[in-house]
Amino acid sequence: MIFSYARGPFLEFLRNLTPQILLLSIAIIMGTKLDLTKFDLSNTWNTMPFILVMCTFFAAAIANIFMFIEGSCRSIEEIDEQSKRLHSAGVKGLAHLKELGVLLFKKSKMLFFEVAVALLLVQVGFLAVFISSIQAATNLYIVIHGGK
């Protein structure tokens, strides 16, 4: 599936991993100086940028995963037509993805499982983003602060 009709959404997903790594690395570096064990309003100016960058990271990651799933399903003409009907009916977000999944399962169980395997690969890529972001942030912190 990934190397046939859903090649475009998969490559787009991979392209979007780089900004996610950057966002998470920045958030981790920003969070190294924070004391999140207690609530202190004097720490707000340091905590808010960290929270905003983390929220941006999670929003980008979730959007990227949804775009991959939706793009994979839309690469099938019949499902693309149903997707357009759902959008025009006002069905969006998780409800839209659920309807596409049900339609895909009814149309072709094999294709449904191919999308599920591709989604598993996407999750592995997402895990790789976490690991590489932590490594990049750690290396940058060591360079900036001299290994302290």
Asked whether the predicted pLDDT for residue 55 surpasses 90, the reply is yes
**Residue 52 binned pLDDT confidence (cut-offs 50, 70, 90):** very high
Coil/strand/helix, residue 12: helix
Q: How many angstroms separate the CA atoms of 110 and 123, rounded?
A: 20
CA dihedral sign of residues 125, 127, 133, 135: negative
**Residue 60 binned pLDDT confidence (cut-offs 50, 70, 90):** very high
Q: What is the pLDDT of residue 5?
A: 63
121-124 long-range CB contacts below 8 Å, 24 or more apart?
121/2, 122/13, 122/65, 122/68
Q: What is the pLDDT of residue 79?
A: 77
For 3, half-sphere exposure in the C-beta direction (CA atoms, 13 angstrom radius) is 0
